[in-house]
Structure 1
Amino acid sequence: MLPKIFKAYDVRATHPDPLNEDAAYCVGFGAGQFLQKENDGPGKILVSRDMRPHSPKLAAALIHGIRASGMDVIDLGMADTSFLYFAIPHLDAVGGIQTTASHNPVQYNGFKISGKGARPIGATTGLKEIEQLASDAWGSKREATGSLEELDLWDDYRKHIHTFLPTLNRPLKLYVDASNGMAGKLVPQVFDGVENLEVIKLNFEITGSFVHDPNPLVAENMVPTQEGVRQNAAHLGACFDGDADRCMLVDEQGSIIGCDHLTAWLASHFLKQDPGSTIIYDLRSSKVVEETIKSLGGTPAKSRVGHVFMKALLRETGGVFGGELSGHFYFRDNSFADSGAILLAVALGVLAETDQPLSSIINPLKKYPQSGEINFRTEDKESVLAALKSDYAEGAVIDELDGVSIDAFENKGWWFNVRASNTEPLLRLNAEARDPEALASLLGELKPRLGEEAQGH
């Protein structure tokens, strides 16, 4: 059962089969043992949970497992995932675990595990060891010996988020779709009462179910936010995912803002504060991100896809800010972790500094046409990637940081990246060109080589 619930970056599966309370106990026991070893002794582990109907029981079983390993637990209650990332260093805890399945439908649940300083624990940074320790604990339960206390940190969390939110220089109207997820608690706690900010709320009811899937990367799930912005003449729209660590933004015309364009826009804010600093970006991002960072005197740094890699590179470079196409945004002054609330706070502050509508700021950044991510089903992924490297090498720079990136932007006016899925027979294509004709020509060449076009995210 346990191998079915451990993934590359977290624990996630449907409840109650295969993820049930017995499995949650074992995850807690394994994580407790792992973090105790990392800490060279006992310490406190923080636990929080989202609003799914099975989260309270899973979190309780998880806490039992952690305490049975000899570690103390502080229960933070129902909170967004980024709340936990704040709380771990704030309380000098050895780690923390959020009970959540993020953007997945309501029948899913899981655990996001972090170490000291809110460092992510994935397959390459300890999750495999936790899986083994959890497996060893299967079938037997020990008495809970670690202590347990409950703590309310919402006032401290609000103060932390507000360090990224300056006094708004003009009145702003914000439309928010909380997706019936943790933003339904987060947004009122953090943004209610902010001077010059009117918040119009949709799907803030925490009922344990979702009006739409809490995944803002799916275009149809963004439609209520787009319509709400236009109908209410809002300056900005925001749609959160289920555990509210991701936030997708919409301009005043109801157009979705690409996360790479958002990174480019906000780069100026962070580079004014920290001139010459490094800004991290997802390698699938538009060329405009690198160009913008350089033009502002900053240092661009390209990262592999995935929050484990983004956070690690931001920490390694001492970068001030990072953006990923998935909607995760990372901040040095947030323990290098991601936060949907901080992203929204920064965007509001920067927007309030100008009288320009957001669309007029973002549209010039959309200078190069993009394909978006397109999935292709193919059984022989390695052969396809090898052929691309061979056939497109002339006049191009080849980079294998994550899959294969072939950059002929200077010579031919295009670049593309193809990555293999770790879990499915899929290749994922992202491409960009100087003009629509060049992009259409490139896609016409590439698509037949990559397999059968598939749906999915």
Structure 2
Amino acid sequence: MTDSAVPGARGALDAIVKAYDVRGIVGDGLDETVVEALAAAFVDEVGAAGGRVVVGHDMRDSSPGFAAAFARGAVARGADVLAIGLCSTDESYFASGRYDAPAAMFTASHNPAAYNGIKFSRAGAQGISLDTGLAAIRDRAGDYLADGVTAVGTPGTVTDLDVLADYAAYLRSLVDLSGIRPLKVVVDAGNGMGGLTVPAVLGEAAGLPALPLQIVPLYFELDGTFPNHEANPLEPANLVDLQRAVVEHGADLGLAFDGDADRCFVVDERGEAVTPSAVAAIVALREIARVRAAGEADVSVIHNLITSRIVPETIEQAGATPVRTRVGHSLIKDRMAQTGAVFGGEHSAHYYFRDFWGADNGMLAAMHLLAEFGSQDAPLSTLAQRFTPYALSGEINSTVADIPAAYTRIVEAFTGRADFDELDGLTVTGITAESEPFWWANIRPSNTEPLLRLNVEASDPATMTRYRDEFLALIRA
């Protein structure tokens, strides 16, 4: 705890407090003093004085010190800290849900080694965004940086707690993999937290029975300097090692986790990427079938507006209701709670489960995929092809100085041949006859950079390519 003020430090918070989390370069606006102030503000905002707060961290060099600083600030404001140590982000959500306590997870997810940050949760793994408390935390922390953190009359305590075995057992209780056919699976942990959680959940490291899985590990050593490649599987360059290893080992599939292991990407037996939309459709079918078998009639599933058209089509064909949302994990967690949706999927490989407190869990999505794939004999490429009938551009970023002007160019060019909506950025949907190829595009600004993100989908590759190129020309004009 500190009672010393940091003059002029308030402005630094604006740079590191983002729409859904805290993220910045270590030592450049993000240091232990700032973390301590954020901890005090978090405890005040969520009313945790006299209650418990979960604190976990990833393998980045700065993370243990930041977690300790957060504990100091939280204890000073009267919270009892459950320090769960090294963990994945979804493991911190598990602890938040299991103990019904707010949580802080120290990670910068897929960002390079120089970065760190905090993912906050309210009790029960509920999300926090700028609109639902993060802005207030930022402002309170600014006051503490200006005036110093003052301790309450009865400070809290710190208790070390290892939740990995309970986390692994809980996931095993949700998806039974014991009866699937034997599978060889290459897993690229990217030197991130998957190196800790995969052996516990899919192996025997947590004392659970062996599964019919032969895991071929890539980069399981926890190393926050990321010596092999960045832990961002969304970038194709970071999948190359996994793709090569799957083919070399004759594996049935490959899994790649990001740095904090809350997102999972999939590669088929040929080394080709399976789209997150295909994974979302497969998992959605399983979750819909499960709750219908239990007697649930009114079932809804969330998908963000950038997922492939196959996702809402699959949900509807299964007799459930697709709920289209904006992009963003805190927002989708809120929608999961509001709608009671059984599952939610994003184009970025975030997958949300009602049975996991509405939070995202890449490991749980991987288990569902393994269960579905392992219950039939066809190769994964065949299964994935069923859920990849359309052509997707993937996300294409462009640096744009004048975003409103780019929007104006697009609207002018497509007026009369497309419909527009502004649920999240600008979505342009072609006005086409039933016999003509369909297409749509979404153009969405980055929250933090002067970038426009373009996603295009069409019924065939030629149509997708034509519209992708037309949109890029307008965006970059």
| TM-score bracket for the superposition, by shorter chain length | over 0.9
**Is residue 315–residue 322 contact of structure 2 (8 Å, CA) maintained in 1?**
yes
**Is residue 165–residue 348 contact of structure 1 (8 Å, CA) maintained in 2?**
no
Residue type of the alignment partner of 1:102: S
Task: State the 1:230 CA deviation.
Answer: 0.9
Which residue, 100, 107, 130 being the options, matches 1:100?
107
* Cα 1:346–1:120 shift into 2, 3 Å: same
1:136 aligns to what SS in structure 2? helix
* Cα 1:409–1:360 shift into 2, 3 Å: farther
Percent pairwise identity: 38
Which residue, 220, 223, 244 being the options, matches 1:207?
223
Give a deviation string over 1:300-352, Cα, whole Å, max 9, x none: 11111111222222222211111111111110100000011111111111111
- The answer to whether 1:293 aligns with 2:315 is yes
**Is residue 164–residue 345 contact of structure 1 (8 Å, CA) maintained in 2?**
no
- The answer to whether 1:394 aligns with 2:410 is no
CA distance in 2, matches of 1:84, 1:434: 40
Give a deviation string over 1:113-134, Cα, whole Å, max 9, x none: 1112111111111111101111
**Is residue 188–residue 219 contact of structure 2 (8 Å, CA) maintained in 1?**
yes
Task: State the 1:240 CA deviation.
Answer: 0.6
Which residue, 196, 199, 213 being the options, matches 1:197?
213
1:274 aligns to what SS in structure 2? helix
Aligned to 1:123: 130
Which residue, 131, 140, 148 being the options, matches 1:133?
140
Describe how 1:143-162 pairs up with structure 2 within 5 A: 143=151, 145-162=155-172
TM-score after normalising by structure 2: 0.90
Aligned residues: CA RMSD: 1.7
- The answer to whether 1:269 aligns with 2:286 is yes
CA distance in 2, matches of 1:265, 1:394: 36
Aligned to 1:455: none
- The answer to whether 1:45 aligns with 2:53 is yes
Describe how 1:66-105 pairs up with structure 2 within 5 A: 66-93=74-101, 95-105=102-112
Task: State the 1:422 CA deviation.
Answer: 2.6
Task: State the 1:391 CA deviation.
Answer: 4.1
- The answer to whether 1:447 aligns with 2:463 is no
TM-score after normalising by structure 1: 0.94
CA distance in 1, matches of 2:466, 2:162: 56
CA distance in 2, matches of 1:427, 1:271: 35
Residue type of the alignment partner of 1:397: D
Gaps of 5+ in 1: 453-457
**Is residue 98–residue 112 contact of structure 1 (8 Å, CA) maintained in 2?**
yes
Residue type of the alignment partner of 1:196: P
Give a deviation string over 1:43-102, Cα, whole Å, max 9, x none: 111100111111111111111001111111111111101011111121121x00001111
Describe how 1:162-241 pairs up with structure 2 within 5 A: 162-166=172-176, 167-193=178-204, 194-210=210-226, 211-241=228-258
Describe how 1:294-333 pairs up with structure 2 within 5 A: 294-333=316-355
Q: How many residues align?
A: 448
* Cα 1:17–1:380 shift into 2, 3 Å: closer
Residue type of the alignment partner of 2:275: G
Task: State the 1:262 CA deviation.
Answer: 1.2
2:274 aligns to what SS in structure 1? coil
Task: List structure 1 runs of 4+ shifted beyond 4 angstroms.
Answer: none
- The answer to whether 1:246 aligns with 2:263 is yes
Gaps of 5+ in 2: 1-11, 205-209, 293-297
Residue type of the alignment partner of 1:109: N
1:163 aligns to what SS in structure 2? helix
CA distance in 2, matches of 1:48, 1:133: 22
Residue type of the alignment partner of 1:160: Y
Tell me which moved more, 15-24 or 389-398.
389-398
Residue type of the alignment partner of 1:227: R
CA distance in 2, matches of 1:48, 1:361: 37
**Is residue 393–residue 406 contact of structure 1 (8 Å, CA) maintained in 2?**
no
* Cα 1:111–1:444 shift into 2, 3 Å: closer
CA distance in 2, matches of 1:395, 1:242: 42
* Cα 1:154–1:443 shift into 2, 3 Å: closer
CA distance in 2, matches of 1:15, 1:424: 19
CA distance in 2, matches of 1:447, 1:437: 15
